Chains A and B, each alone.
Chain A
């Protein structure tokens, strides 16, 4: 399954026509202890580059932007009771939501794992 990354530190894993979205390990490290994740509702249409979720750390609230355009099909129910999953398992159990892929061409603009590693090394 291909995994893509954005320069806003989100990851997108594509399986068939569904994308699973979360934030990267680098992102959770920058945010610090996460105490709340506000997720979109199932059925919501989100647009690439627009607000999709909000992550509240102890210190601040941060927006998470939609990496691609599509419709939310599922949200991670575990984050409601245990938002710290985003810290402990950001790229696995701490996923945010699943969505349809309106335009597969949008994926072409994203980075692969190697590209993302080079990107964060440059920060």
Chain B
């Protein structure tokens, strides 16, 4: 046998170990290269871990992601020149999705921006892109802005319908957080920053904590009967069901956020004022539409269509799959693809071609599995 897919990254650098490396191995994780690190792809099995997260709570180690703090005089104006975000409406304790774009409006990364109590900003960026992001921000932000890479912080995500009950046993204040809000608390005596957010479509939290405390806190949380450690494999199948894009696959410099349906990532004021990289194209696409759109596909049969598979309307190739796999929740193959806008309406019957076989696929609304975020009453 041989894998047809290559590893997630083309990094030739030696792989680095995350703070929880030994912790994962002790729990039987299979480790694979990802974003320059050795990371756990699975423990007991992707499908079991996927179902566990949807019905209980899963603990994910996402310490490969970059955690940055920006501070300094004129911070908001300086960062608004780099991101299409409206920082005037980002209040302390709130987190927002944003995009790092190139001059042509292509996506260099997607990220979360949070406003800290002292006015500074906390960013979480993708692991595979963090070094490029840091270099770009250092280059493009004025000298008055300080960029602090929190490389001694780990990041854990606790996701699933039982996550809130579990975490509230240790940090009662999290009951007061709603989706995309965060606060600073103590967890087992350690200072942590907890956001009610995640990448599974479930209610849950992302916990930034000192790397030195990561094993102790991972043990504490996995000691709760509702919690199991979950690998990257299920993280990918969960986010796919939730219709959430994965940078480097669904988003890249060759895609614009408007094609990807991420117009909400271009904050309202910026759609008229511009002043961010790629603004000309982005504003034009918001007003005039795009030639292609990122859509969900539901396939017939059981054969998955993976990244790179071509999408057809009759004889014409009208798109390409960017992410695809088997949905454990729905029991069918699902995929995300860029298709010509004329074929992007939900209900449109298309075909995908896998190893020379045409398979029926229908455009469906995303998320494939409904989000269950805690937005408050």
Contacts and interface: CB of A to CB of B under 8 A. Distances in A.
Interface of A: 8-10, 23, 27, 31-33, 35-36, 38, 54-65, 83
A59 B4 contact: no
Contact of A60 (B5, B45, B237): B5
Interface string B12-52: 00000000000000000000000000000110011110100
12 contacts: A32-B233, A33-B47, A38-B355, A57-B46, A58-B233, A58-B328, A59-B325, A60-B4, A61-B3, A61-B304, A62-B1, A62-B3
Contacts of A33: 45-48
Given A32-B42, A32-B45, A38-B355, A61 B1 contact: no
A40 to B, nearest CB: 12
Interface in B334-377: 355
Contact of A58 (B4, B303, B325): B325
B32 to A, nearest CB: 9
B contact residues, range? 20 to 34
Contacts of B306: 60-61
A98 to B, nearest CB: 19
Contacts of A57: 46
A63 B4 contact: yes
A94 to B, nearest CB: 14
Given A54-B355, A56-B304, A59-B41, 15 more contacts: A8-B1, A32-B45, A32-B233, A33-B46, A35-B333, A36-B303, A36-B326, A38-B355, A58-B47, A60-B3, A60-B4, A60-B306, A63-B2, A63-B4, A83-B302
A64 B1 CA distance: 5
A78 to B, nearest CB: 14
A56 B1 contact: no
B358 to A, nearest CB: 14
Contact of A63 (B1, B46, B325, B326): B1
Main secondary structure of the interface of A (DSSP, over half): strand
Interface in B311-337: 325-326, 328, 333
Nearest to A63: B2
Contact of B46 (A8, A32, A38, A65): A32
A122 to B, nearest CB: 17
A6 B306 CA distance: 28
Nearest to B233: A59
B341 to A, nearest CB: 30
A36 B236 CA distance: 18
B47 A27 contact: no
A65 B302 contact: no
Given A32-B233, A36-B303, A59 B46 contact: yes
A74 to B, nearest CB: 21
A9 B2 CA distance: 10
Contacts of B42: 32
Given A32-B46, A33-B45, A61 B5 contact: yes
A23 B2 CA distance: 12
A55 B5 CA distance: 12
Contacts of A36: 302-304, 326
A23 B302 CA distance: 20
A35 B46 CA distance: 11
Nearest to A10: B1
Contacts of A31: 1
Contact of A62 (B2, B45, B304, B326): B2
- Which of A8, A35, A36 is most buried by chain B, counting CB atoms within 10 A of its CB? A35
- Which of A57, A58, A62 is most buried by chain B, counting CB atoms within 10 A of its CB? A58
B2 A58 contact: no
- Which of A10, A32, A65 is most buried by chain B, counting CB atoms within 10 A of its CB? A32
